[in-house]
């Protein structure tokens, strides 16, 4: 993420804005991490509630990169 952050701060990143479904975006995140979570016998829950505006406008690719980096850095809490 530091590379993306540095590019943004340096003004080298070109954002490509488009409309996309936040529900589909969340489902894609779940799909990306599902096998890793299953292999490690972990639990990952995404709750989609009270979404007022399913369609948003933004740079979907960069948002996905940021969310993946964020989720990969989360500490693992082991449940006994």
Task: Look at residue 76 in the predicted model and tell me its pLDDT.
Answer: 64
DSSP states of 19-40 as a string?
A: EEEHHHHHHHHHHHHHHHHHHT
The secondary structure element, H or E, covering residue 71 is helix 60-72
- Tell me: the pLDDT tens digits for 53-69? 999 999 999 899 888 88
Q: Read off the pTM.
A: 0.68
Which residues partner with 56 through β-bridges? 20
Task: Look at residue 73 in the predicted model and tell me its pLDDT.
Answer: 79
């Amino acid at each position: 993420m530091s590379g993306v952050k540095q590019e943004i701060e340096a003004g080298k990143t070109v954002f490509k804005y488009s409309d996309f479904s936040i529900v589909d975006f969340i489902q894609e995140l779940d799909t990306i991490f599902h096998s890793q979570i299953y292999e490690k016998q972990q639990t990952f829950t995404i709750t989609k509630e009270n979404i007022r505006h399913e369609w948003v406008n933004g740079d979907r690719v960069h948002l996905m990169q940021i969310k993946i980096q964020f989720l990969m850095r989360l500490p693992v809490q082991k449940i006994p």
